[in-house]
């Protein structure tokens, strides 16, 4: 038995979908899927969602463990902010969302895909971490922060 070639797509799309729904107010893009257009670059607050994985192992025949990493980079332009804690608010929203179980569905337009079919759940493993990088350069007044998480899911095929 081997890894299902659809898992990577379903996992990526499910994590992206989960995190995009959190974005709300600031524009958010999924790295590698959406472009950084001019409106995104000009936004005082913006979020970049990055997803890596799945990394798979087969501890026993037909039983798989999938490991996925996700992070969200929040960038804020202090020149436009009325409240210096705006970026912290967004980091907090992503922190909450990334500390939840993420359902994986068969998202896609390929044969056999069905967004109503549940595949399994990605569960946070270890710490969900929030990093504050602060102001990157004095002259640009840009500050950044990041929320980072690791997820695990068990599947049998």
pLDDT tens, position by position, 55-80: 999 999 989 999 999 999 999 988 77
pLDDT, position 83: 75
- Asked if residue 141 has pLDDT above 70, the reply is yes
How open is the CA angle 128-134-135, to the nearest 5 degrees?
150
Q: Does residue 2 fall inside a structural domain?
A: no
- Indicate the pLDDT class of residue 42, thresholds 50, 70 and 90: confident
Which range marks the domain in which residue 115 is found?
7-156
Q: Does residue 148 fall inside a structural domain?
A: yes
Non-local (6+) Cβ contacts of 99 within 8 A are 124, 128, 149
pTM attached to this predicted model: 0.91
- Asked if residue 10 has pLDDT above 90, the reply is yes
Mean pLDDT of the chain: 91
Give the span between the Cα atoms of 105 and 7, in whole angstroms: 10
Q: Does residue 77 fall inside a structural domain?
A: yes
Q: Does residue 72 fall inside a structural domain?
A: yes
Q: Does residue 1 fall inside a structural domain?
A: no
Number of domains in the chain: 1
CATH at residue 56: 3.30.2000.10
What is the mean predicted confidence (pLDDT) over 90-100?
Answer: 95
pLDDT, position 25: 63
């Amino acid at each position: 038995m081997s890894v299902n070639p659809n898992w990577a797509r379903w996992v990526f799309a499910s994590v992206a979908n989960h995190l995009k729904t959190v974005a709300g107010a600031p524009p958010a893009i999924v790295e590698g899927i959406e472009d950084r257009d001019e409106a995104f670059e000009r936004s005082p607050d913006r979020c970049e969602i990055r997803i890596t994985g799945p990394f798979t192992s087969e501890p026993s025949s037909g039983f798989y463990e999938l490991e996925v990493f996700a992070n969200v980079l929040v960038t804020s332009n202090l020149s436009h902010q009325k409240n210096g804690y705006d970026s912290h608010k967004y980091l907090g929203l992503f922190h909450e969302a990334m500390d939840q179980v993420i359902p994986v569905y068969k998202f896609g337009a390929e044969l056999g895909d069905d967004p109503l079919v549940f595949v399994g759940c990605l569960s946070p493993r270890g710490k969900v971490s929030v990093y504050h990088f602060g102001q990157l350069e004095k002259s640009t007044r840009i500050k950044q922060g990041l929320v980072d998480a690791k997820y695990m899911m068990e599947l049998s095929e």
